[in-house]
Structures are given as C-alpha cells and as structure tokens.
Structure 1
Amino acid sequence: MSLKVVDKKNRWRNKTVAFRVSPEEWEQFETAARLSGLSKQEYLISRMYQRDIVVQGNPRVYKALRNELTKVLEKLEGVREVDSELLETIKLITLTLNGLKEETHVRA
C-alpha cells in the first residue's frame, strides 16, 4: 500500500470536488491560477476561504504575465470594443504587476 500524500497541515485530501464550467470560465480560471503562481487546487481553496492571493514573484509568474500580456495584445489588435472577460484579464494582470512592483519597491 502506498503512503498517503498529506498537505502542509498534515491533512489527507481524499475528497474530490467536480463541477462544470464554460470554456470561457475555464480560461479565466486557468489564467487567474497561472498568474497567482499557485496550483489550481491551492488557488480554488484560497478563493473558497476568501483569502487574499499573495503572488510571490518568480520566473514562472513573470513568464505567465508575459504570455498573458501577449495574448491580450493579440486580442486587442483591430478590436473596437473590449469584452468583459478580456477586461477582467487586463485588470488581473495589472493588479498582479502592481503588487509585484510594490513588493520589489518595499524591499529596495
């Protein structure tokens, strides 16, 4: 029998949560989790408890920010009106970048 995998608080997570979302909702969820630097599971648990998501600046987060900005810029080319989902992505990127800038500024 294999060993149980436990979390940081020594809890065995053996329950599964599943629900359906639209492709647009899935994309927004994946973007938010990716930009947070957390796993999807940790991101959902943090949001469930209404905890603040604290993004730790690291190469993975910076790469995710760069890639998301590239996607946003591609979607904005030739567009006259910005849809609400793209606007939410832009706000999330801005919030993350501002938080990382403040973190860097405070340490300096």
Structure 2
Amino acid sequence: MSSRSCDRRGRWRNLTVAFRVSQEEREEIRTRVKLSGLTQQEYIIRRLQAQDIVVVGSPRLHKALKEQMRQIFLELQRIGKGGEVSQELQETIRLVSKIYDGMKSN
C-alpha cells in the first residue's frame, strides 16, 4: 500500500470532480492553463474559488506564449484582410496581451 500524499498545504486530495465540456471549451481551458503556468487542477481550483491567477515566468510559460503567438499569427494570416476575427481569437489575443503587459511591468 502506498503512503498518503498531501499537497503543499497538507490537504489530502483523494476526491475526483469531473464535468463535460465542448471541444471549443476544452481548447480554451487548455490554452488558459498553458498560459498560466499552473497545472490544470490548480488553475481550475483557483478559478472556482475566485482567486487571482498570478502568472510567473518560466521556460514552460515562455514556450507556451511563443506557441500561442504562432497560432495567433497563423490564424490572422488565414483570415487575411477584411476577414472577421472570431470571439475566441479575440479573447486569446487579450489574454496573451495581458500576460505580456504584466511581464513588462515586472
């Protein structure tokens, strides 16, 4: 039998919470998690508890930002001049901008 493993605050987390989402919602959650630098579990718990998500720079975050900027660039190229930018892309651009702005001020 394995020993009990507690989190950093000494809490024993042995319960599972699951819910269904659409493909689009799943991708948005994954994007936000990657750009936060947190684990998916920690990100969702903090959001549900209305806690601030503080992004801390790391090589993992840098890689996620770089990949997200590449995806944004490719999507904007695909849309071209006069095309309409989707609501999801606008939200992603706002999120990435906010992260870069926060990094600049630190």
Please indicate the TM-score interval, normalised by the length of the shorter structure: over 0.9
| Deviation for aligned residue 1:77 | 1.0
In the TM superposition, what are the counterparts of 1:27-106 in structure 2 within 5 Å?
27-79=27-79, 80-103=83-106
Q: State the alpha-carbon separation in 1 of the partners of residues 78 and 35 from structure 2.
A: 26
| Deviation for aligned residue 1:8 | 0.8
| Deviant stretches of 4+, over 4 Å | none
In the TM superposition, what are the counterparts of 1:8-23 in structure 2 within 5 Å?
8-23=8-23
Q: State the alpha-carbon separation in 2 of the partners of residues 90 and 41 from structure 1.
A: 24
The CA deviation string for residues 18-61 of structure 1, in whole angstroms up to 9 with x for no partner, is 11111111000000000000000000011011111111111111
Q: Aligned Cα RMSD in Å?
A: 0.8
1:7 paired residue number: 7
Q: Does 1:25 align with 2:25?
A: yes
Q: TM-score, normalised by structure 2?
A: 0.94
The CA deviation string for residues 47-80 of structure 1, in whole angstroms up to 9 with x for no partner, is 0111111111111111100000000111111410
* Higher relative contact order, chain-length normalized (CA < 8 Å, sep 6+): 1
Q: Which runs of 5+ in 1 are unaligned?
A: 104-108
Q: TM-score, normalised by structure 1?
A: 0.92
Q: Which runs of 5+ in 2 are unaligned?
A: none
